[in-house]
């Protein structure tokens, strides 16, 4: 959709959606109808979110994805263009653009239904056609709102670092999961990943750190478990490090995990160690939840990120020195 740029330091392979966001006082229960307070259409999709987050922070980013030829394609790609993401590998597929229907309650928590639409075209054949672009990137970010063979083709084509976001959890070749460095999952996805890798340890892994250790023991090079307001865990062969999150008031958690991943990739591409990259990424994720929407909430390099820790530590301290190993 745009002219090719110089080789990107980060290539994101993933979904591009239009987000239809309804705000309500409280989430309806099963069978209940709730009156919405507002409805907006914004750019979204895990792939697009992650690409925008990294690009706004200063990385050179390209996205491999697909949109439809309908009216939702323009809002789905608008922020990507504004953020300067390379769209030369973004295809237009006949049919509908992917849609995410998001309900956000007054406490900031959300529920999401995703209709893939054109994202189904980001398959192994399409991704394989861009193998050279993927191989040239220092960091390749892959998420799972696209077909399995597209995810696997992207991970296998990478020669740089693979950041695999197993969200949603889909069945993958365990060899592909073990290419991740890191595998980024939330607390629920982490257990799904462990089951996929052979999982006898699932029943004995009682805490998040246990699951993270078990994933590394199962052959994953490194693991980041995101814990929302509690921060994140970083697991490697050297152990598990707790990364505390800044204390903020959440307005909307939509896309906060993608902000974290984009920021993580940005710092990994710049040469940071994984735990240092995660310390930066939790601050970006915390910034994102203080504003409405996904891509619209992401900071750029000039924005002041929150730093007051939610756990033990000095008020206003940077997270690094207070991150214990467990």
- The residues assigned a catalytic role are 258
- Please enumerate in sequence order all residues whose Cβ is within 8 A of that of 200, keeping only pairs 6 or more positions apart, or say none: none
Q: Output the CA angle 150-153-154, nearest 5 degrees.
A: 85
Contact 243, 231 (CB under 8 A): yes
Contact 87, 48 (CB under 8 A): no
What six digits make up the tokens of 210? 């246990």
Q: What Å distances lie between residue 130 and 91, 118, 124, 310, CA to CA?
A: 12, 17, 10, 42
What six digits make up the tokens of 166? 């197993």
């Amino acid at each position: 959709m745009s002219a090719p740029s110089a080789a990107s330091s980060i290539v994101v392979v993933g979904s591009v959606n239009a987000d239809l966001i309804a705000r309500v006082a409280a989430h309806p229960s099963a069978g209940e109808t709730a009156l919405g307070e507002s409805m907006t259409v914004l750019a979204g999709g895990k792939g697009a979110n992650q690409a925008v987050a990294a690009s706004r922070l200063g990385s050179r980013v390209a996205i491999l994805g697909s949109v439809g030829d309908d009216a939702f394609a323009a809002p789905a790609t608008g922020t990507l263009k504004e953020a300067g993401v390379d769209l030369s590998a973004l295809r237009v597929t006949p049919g509908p653009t992917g849609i995410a229907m998001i309900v956000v309650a007054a406490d900031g928590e959300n529920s999401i239904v995703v209709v893939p639409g054109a994202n189904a075209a980001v398959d192994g054949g399409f991704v394989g056609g861009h193998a050279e672009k993927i191989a040239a990137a220092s960091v390749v970010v892959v998420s799972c709102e696209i077909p399995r063979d597209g995810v696997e083709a992207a991970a296998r084509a990478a020669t740089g670092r693979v950041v695999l976001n197993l969200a949603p959890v889909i069945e993958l070749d365990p060899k592909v999961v073990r290419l991740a460095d890191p595998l980024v999952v939330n607390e629920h996805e982490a257990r799904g990943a462990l089951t996929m890798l052979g999982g006898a340890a699932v029943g004995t892994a009682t805490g998040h750190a246990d699951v993270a250790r078990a994933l590394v023991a199962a052959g994953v090079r490194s693991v980041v478990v995101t814990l929302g307001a509690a921060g994140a865990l970083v697991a490697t062969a050297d152990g598990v490090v707790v990364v505390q999150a800044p204390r903020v008031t959440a307005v909307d958690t939509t896309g906060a995990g993608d902000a974290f991943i984009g920021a993580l990739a940005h710092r990994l591409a710049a040469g940071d160690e994984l735990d240092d990259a995660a310390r930066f990424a939790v601050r970006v994720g915390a910034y994102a939840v203080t504003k409405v929407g996904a891509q619209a909430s992401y900071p750029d390099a000039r924005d002041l990120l929150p730093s007051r820790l939610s756990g033990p530590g000095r008020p206003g301290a940077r997270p690094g020195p207070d991150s214990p190993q467990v």
